[in-house]
Structure 1
Amino acid sequence: MQPPPPATNGPVIAGYFTNWSIYARNYNVIDVAASAHKLTHILYAFANLQEDGTVVLGDVWADKDKHFPPEQTINHQADSWNEQGNNLYGNFKQLYLLKQKHRHLKVTLSIGGWTWSTNFSAVASDPQKRARFIDTAIKHLNDLGLDGLDIDWEYPKDDKDAFFYVHLLYELRIALDRYQQRLQQTDQPRLLLTVAVPCGPSHYRTLRLQQMEPYVDLFYLMAYDFAGSWDSKTGHQSALYGGSLNGHQAVSDYLAAGIPPHKIVMGLPLYGRAFSNTSGPDASFQGLPEGSWEQGMFDYKALPKPGATENHDWQRLASWSYDPQAREFVTYDTPEIVRGKCDYIRKASLGGAMFWELSADQAHDHPRSLLNCVYDAFNHHLDTMPNHLSYPESQYDNVKRGMA
């Protein structure tokens, strides 16, 4: 049997869109629109996984119910309260409209994440729960007008988990292909099955990567959070080289495990991790500053903070800011470091770059926007595989008729 064609035909630029960003962050799908041509994949975070294997939306109101005013919609038309039938609204309606405008932009639903991975182990190891997972996940894809599913299991803890993870991916891959066959859409690009995967050796050496590979289109490497409040000293949270954890070591090990380079997408943080009462990198610290939304975490667009100086370590390909008055150290990626990482991605023939998460970047027209930086570094040459727009079996009338 012939292996399926690659899921991409050029560099990936993927970004996570979080459903909670529409609240305090005031970041909506319309805010993605200005730079949507620079993205190839939007990963929608997150769907929750229940004990019985049912995949449920994380925030039903934000995801599919909210009615946006005209200034917050892709087509500049207010979501109607008087439309006939059962219709989709919320973020997913706006994402569908965005897909219509940018036919290379694929939207996938991310299931799990740090908070909602608790039930993966029990679900993956039980055939009935696995079947419910697959049925409900594909129903979301079909109803919401999506291009694939992203599994974000943090993390399989032992070989038993790793074994059943392969089972889950295998059965999900078959089910996605069958769904496409049933709709007679096999002439269109294959529906995507991707995974968010760790860069810590203790986590990824647990995975059966070689066995996962045939069923997975893209491996999104979470190449950040290498340092944080859990450490005894400050450190670089996303260094490419050096230290006990770094991006290059992870990439090398994934390649050695048999993952083709074009399937490896390197994660880039759009945030900084901060430490208080310290003298800089690799030094002791005491406590964490308040942060943008949670303690010790700053949006990239808030950095460097006033009074802080930006620094670069070109050997490790790491950057940070330090304020000697406040004695505050923040580890994050600057445009210069991101350009260096893009150079690495190109030279290693990797699949591309992924951002966590889009609301924290500078505005689309800002000279320090990291999304712009990656787009320019890839010479504006991106994956152009077309997205899917036909969902004749969706429960939502407006999705069924293509929002016409």
Structure 2
Amino acid sequence: MWTSLDQTVNHKADDWNEPGDNLYGNFKQLFLLKQKYRHLKVSLSVGGWSWSGNFSTVASSQIKRARFTESAISFVNDLGLDGIDIDWEMPKNDAEAVSYVSLVHDLRVALGPNYLISVAVPCGPEDYKKLHLSEMAAQVDLFYLMAYDFAGAWDSVTGHQAALYGGTLNDNNAVDYYIASGVPPEKIVLGIPAYGRGFSNTNEKPGSSFKGVPAGTWEEGSYDYKVLPRPGAKEYFDAESVASYSYDPKSREFVTYDNPQAVKAKCEYALTKGLAGVMFWELSSDAKSQDRSLLHTAYTTFDNQVHSLNNHLDFKSSRFHNIKTGM
């Protein structure tokens, strides 16, 4: 229930005494936003790094796929959504990759052509080479490339976590592979991190040894972008790799992240490649000031353009009265 009026779209708090069975909270506010901004599409994402364990079992069974698609349609209709996002991290073998194709195929049949199906997909060759990308592309509207975490505490040396070029992992290699494998560039969305990966007791130059990672903002080694660069650190930009980072010589802390200069270059790359755009993981970590905001940088680099196709507002089969009647 919303009680703070400044946190609502229509400046009205939820009222539990309204007649009928109504939808409240975040999903109600998202629907109000969709009414206000008709280009805004809202999808429900299923899975993620922590919740992908059941995908293999569900996707490999026709009966379980049918149950999955049935529940997906119910969520779309009841909550007033524009599609479903599948975040399967990651199919481990060819059998699971084949099942993935079946899953998105059945979901497409169930949702029809006018609702969005998107997938979050890897940028590591050992993972994306398992996928049957051309078959997936026939059913999927958008491929969200998780183009980050190329470097972190699991490595032996520091490095860029989201470099566009260079190194064993980079954005460009992944983009080229997806396109060569049958994914149209206009269905590819390049992921950009809104957080940094930190390394302790190290030197300024990427590729240096380190010992440990900093406490971070929300987990060890990870900082929200909005707190970067850290006090006392100097920010750098590697034009060859298209990557930014900071280093504090006093604390000997190295943090790899994307700053506005890196985001601008990546958006220009997306335009050159004819990609659908960019996405961020995740927006609450962005800086509030326009000069540092990654989202604002992307918006202005794309010449203030947004996807113009209208969202869905007609959900007469919703079980919620206010969604069914359009509030």
**TM-score category of the 2 structures, normalised to the smaller one:** over 0.9
- Structure 1 distance, partners of 2:54, 2:305, is 39
Equivalent of 1:144, from 52, 56, 79? 79
- Structure 2 distance, partners of 1:136, 1:68, is 30
Question: Which residue of 2 is the match for residue 259 of structure 1?
Answer: 183
Equivalent of 1:92, from 4, 11, 27? 27
TM-score by length of 2: 0.98
Instruction: State, as a whole percentage, how many aligned pairs show the same letter.
Output: 58
Q: Deviations over 1:204-238 (max 9, x none)?
A: 00000011111000100000010111111111000
Which amino acid counterpart does residue 245 of structure 2 have in structure 1? W
- Structure 1 distance, partners of 2:301, 2:71, is 39
Which amino acid counterpart does residue 166 of structure 2 have in structure 1? G
Note the C-alpha offset of 1:68: 3.8
Q: Tell whether 2:6 aligns with 1:67.
A: no
Question: Which residue of 2 is the match for residue 129 of structure 1?
Answer: 64
Question: Which residue of 1 is the match for residue 268 of structure 2?
Answer: 343
- Unpaired runs of 5+ in structure 2? none
Q: Which runs of 4+ in 1 moved over 3 A?
A: none
- Structure 2 distance, partners of 1:395, 1:288, is 48
Question: Which residue of 2 is the match for residue 327 of structure 1?
Answer: 252
Question: Which residue of 1 is the match for residue 118 of structure 2?
Answer: 194
Which amino acid counterpart does residue 98 of structure 1 have in structure 2? L
Question: Which residue of 1 is the match for residue 51 of structure 2?
Answer: 116
**Secondary structure of 1:347's aligned partner:** helix
Q: Deviations over 1:347-366 (max 9, x none)?
A: 11111000111100011x43
Note the C-alpha offset of 1:85: 1.4
Note the C-alpha offset of 1:128: 1.1
- Structure 2 distance, partners of 1:285, 1:130, is 46
Note the C-alpha offset of 1:67: 3.1
Which amino acid counterpart does residue 267 of structure 1 have in structure 2? G
- Structure 1 distance, partners of 2:79, 2:52, is 22
Equivalent of 1:395, from 316, 319, 323? 319
Note the C-alpha offset of 1:86: 0.8
Note the C-alpha offset of 1:367: 1.4
TM-score by length of 1: 0.80
Question: Which residue of 2 is the match for residue 184 of structure 1?
Answer: none
Q: Tell whether 2:146 aligns with 1:222.
A: yes
**Secondary structure of 1:196's aligned partner:** strand
Question: Which residue of 2 is the match for residue 306 of structure 1?
Answer: 231
Which amino acid counterpart does residue 117 of structure 2 have in structure 1? L
- Structure 2 distance, partners of 1:396, 1:141, is 12
Q: Deviations over 1:162-216 (max 9, x none)?
A: 0010001101001001xx8xxxxxxxxx110010100000000000001111100
Within-5 A mapping of 1:47-86: 66-86=1-21
Question: Which residue of 2 is the match for residue 288 of structure 1?
Answer: 213
Question: Which residue of 2 is the match for residue 269 of structure 1?
Answer: 193
**Secondary structure of 1:81's aligned partner:** coil
Q: Deviations over 1:267-311 (max 9, x none)?
A: 010000101111131111111111111111111110001100001
**Secondary structure of 1:106's aligned partner:** coil
Which amino acid counterpart does residue 328 of structure 1 have in structure 2? E
- Structure 2 distance, partners of 1:332, 1:242, is 16
Contact 1:270–1:355, Cα closer than 8 Å, also in 2: yes
- Unpaired runs of 5+ in structure 1? 1-65, 181-189
Which amino acid counterpart does residue 252 of structure 1 have in structure 2? D
Contact 1:318–1:333, Cα closer than 8 Å, also in 2: yes
- Structure 2 distance, partners of 1:351, 1:81, is 41
Contact 1:345–1:351, Cα closer than 8 Å, also in 2: yes
- Structure 1 distance, partners of 2:58, 2:30, is 29
Question: Which residue of 2 is the match for residue 316 of structure 1?
Answer: 241
- Structure 2 distance, partners of 1:83, 1:229, is 51
Question: Which residue of 2 is the match for residue 380 of structure 1?
Answer: 304
- Structure 2 distance, partners of 1:300, 1:369, is 9
Question: Which residue of 2 is the match for residue 248 of structure 1?
Answer: 172
